[in-house]
Each structure stands twice: as structure tokens, then as C-alpha cells.
Amino acid sequence: MDLGFTIIILSLFLISMEQACFVYGWNLSDPSLAQIAHDLYHSSDDLLKEVKDLVGRHQDTLQMEILQAGNRGYNAEILVITYGHASKAIDNKTDFRILLSFGQHGRELITSEVALRLLSILSGERAMPGWDSASSNNALVNLIIKVVPMENMNGRKIVEAGDACDRKNGRGVDLNRNWSVDWGKKEKDFDPYEEFPGTSPFSEPEVQIMRKISRSFNPHVWVNVHSGMEGLFMPYDHRNTTPSGVNSNAMKSILEDLNHHYFQDRCIIGSGGASVGYLAHGTAIDYIYEVLKVPLTFTFEIYGDIEASAKECFKMFNPIDITNFNKVLDEWCLAFLSIFQSAPKQLEMALNKVGSGNLDSSLDEIFRGKMHSTRFEGLDFGMQELRTYFRLFMLSSVLLLFMFCSRISKSKCKSTIAI
């Protein structure tokens, strides 16, 4: 091969790689931009060890379990912490239930730090300045709170190895695109590097585990915690609208109260689909609300540096100085403590509006058929499968038509040459 031609090819390759690094946040030339602020952030192993040690010191209020799943040689495990008041036995059927998930995307380290801080407050080891602990303790008596400190452990390891921009799991799937509601639909600005939804709904072990937890626990409140901006979101992600009905009003009231009292009205409020600038399909919040019928479902975006460049992924999603780091932890822990107090009251008011004060037995009235949610889930999953097969059928048809036309074209060409 000519040397000059080889040099041109290599130059074009290097230019394309530089552009890709800028677009996707890859960091090959300046490793300092990808470094984690280890003076502020725990490693994944250290953080989970601290959580386990915390449980060991407070077995009267905290319980721990490790759930595992795997397929096609890929395995995942998730640590789940359950908080229940010491003076009473945990009863999933009568207590008000809250499920919090942190660290769904590997690059969002700050979310897991909030989880650790919140658990330390719930255990009683850390006090929260400016919070009425006596009132909070009274509210906590009737709550069961499940906390997932780090949903995406395998993805977090990739970030710790140097790819500060990675949000996916250990085999390249975005866990917040792998749920079944509207799965696989791609917008015009779809970015496979950022949003690869997997080969099918629930293909990923992490999502399988989270679905199992959500089904068995059957929470009244579900919160998925992210970073990248400051926002308080409710369904939907795959539409630019919010749900209608009394539970939608309850969600909006909770978010407005949080925004005003703890964030000085600086957070964006609304549906994710209408607020973040794009629609997202196959997300956790839409499945939890639409299929599992959890009445109060939220996505919290707890931090974002809008001035960070595309190369500064860690800074974009995580505070890098001690002042902002502690501010994020304090503000959002206060917000969660407020939810623990206000959510049961808001849901009770919603139930009263439909003429019932019994929490679990009347939620089906709010959702027009909660008792049949399993049937709806099967229908929803079946429709997603049909859409997938239809797309494959159309693609196959186009390829066959192309091959057929190519053969006809070649036949005509041969006939012309023969003539």
C-alpha cells in the first residue's frame, strides 16, 4: 500500500476518534478529566461495605439481602436494605411502603452517596440539622423503606476503571431503557452509545432484580434517583404529558412542596418526557406506574453542572468540591425525610376523594383495576413482543426485496451483454 495513502487513512481515523471523544465524552488525551474525586467519594466496594457495616450495627431497624440474577454468562447482584421501626414487626400488608433506587447509571456516583447518608440518618447515627427528629420518628413508625444504594454495580466498576462517561451496565445496556413500556422505540436523536435498550425487555439481570423487588414489595411510593440536572419528575417519560386523576394531583403537590421548601423553586417539575427535552422509552418509572400501578412514582435528578464541557463527564454529573457535595447530600436527605412524612398524608387525601380510606384495597379504584395489573403486564409485554417481531418482519421484507431487485438487475445486465 502507498505510504502517503496510509498516512491519510491514519490521519482520518485519528480525527474521527477525537470527534467521538468529544461527542461521547471519551477521554483518551487527558486522564485528569476522568478522575474521580476520591477525597469526596467512596469506591463502590467501600461504600457497600459501609452500608453493610451500618446494618450490622443496627440490626433492630435495618435488614439486608443480596439478590442475584444472570443470563448468557452475564451476572449481577444488588444489595437491598430494608428499614423498619424497632418497636414493631415489619408487615408488608399494613405498613406504608417506600422503595428508593440509587445508582442506576454508573457515572452518577453522587446518588449512592445520598443513599449512604440517608441510611445513616435512618439508623440514628447521624443527625439532620434543621429537622424535627421527634416528628420524623413518629412518622417512621408506620413506614417500611427499602433502599437500593447501588443498582448498577457492574457499570460503576467501568466508571471507576476510567470511563467517567459510561452510564450503561457491564455489557453495554442502559438499564433505564430495558423496561417493557414502549420498549425499543427510537427517537430521531437516538444515541445507541447512550441509550442501547438491550435485546428485549428485561434482558438485563439488574432490571430483572428490580422488577422482582418492586413486584414483591408492592410500594406506595417509588423513587428513582439520578444526576445530570436538577429536576423533580413524575410519569411519563415516553409521552410529553402527565397522568390524570387524583394520584397525579398528589404527586404534583408533593413535588411542588419539595421544590419550594428545599430547593428554592429551582428544580424543573413535570413529566420527564415534557421536561428534559426528549422522550425516553422503556424506562423504569413508566413501567412502575403503568404496569405495577404504584400510585406515587418519581424520578429525582439531584445535581447537574450545566457549565461542564462534554469532556468533563464526572464534573457534569457529580459535585467536585466539598461545599457542593455536602449541600447536595443535606438538601436531598431533607427532601426524602419530608416525603416520609408527607406521602402517606397525600395518598390518604387522594383515597378520600374516591370515597375510601382503606389504603391497599382502594388503590384499584384510583387506577381503574389494580387487581388486574398482572394481566395488564402480560398484555403490555405481549404488545412489545409483537412490535419487535413486526419490525424484524419489515426489515426482512425490505432485505428480500432488495436481493430480488438485485438479481433482476443482474439478469437484465447479462441479457444486454449477450445481445
What residues are annotated to the active site? 301
Q: What is the bridge-based pairing of β-strands 74-84 and 62-71?
A: antiparallel
Peptide bond into 236 cis (omega under 30): yes
Which H helix or E strand runs over 254? helix 246-262
Which H helix or E strand runs over 137? helix 133-140
Which H helix or E strand runs over 212? helix 205-217
Q: What is the C-alpha separation between 340 and 319, in angstroms, rounded?
A: 26
Whether the CB-CB separation of 106 and 194 falls below 8 Å is answered with no
- Buried (b) or exposed (e) across 315-352, using 16+ Cβ within 10 A? bbbbbbeeeebeebbbbbbbbbbbbbebbbebbeebbe
Whether the CB-CB separation of 35 and 163 falls below 8 Å is answered with no
Q: Where are the alpha helices (DSSP H) in 296-372?
A: 313-317, 322-353, 363-367
Whether the CB-CB separation of 206 and 76 falls below 8 Å is answered with yes
Whether the CB-CB separation of 124 and 66 falls below 8 Å is answered with no
Q: What is the C-alpha separation between 281 and 279, in angstroms, rounded?
A: 7
Kindly report the number of other CB atoms within 10 A of residue 31's CB atom: 10
Whether the CB-CB separation of 102 and 112 falls below 8 Å is answered with yes
Whether the CB-CB separation of 220 and 343 falls below 8 Å is answered with yes
Residue keyed to cell 419490525? 391
Whether the CB-CB separation of 354 and 366 falls below 8 Å is answered with yes
Q: What is the bridge-based pairing of β-strands 221-226 and 62-71?
A: unpaired
Q: Grid coordinates standing for 266?
A: 429551582
DSSP 233: E
Residue keyed to cell 444489595? 79
Whether the CB-CB separation of 67 and 80 falls below 8 Å is answered with yes
- Residues 6 or more apart from 345 whose CB is under 8 A from it? none
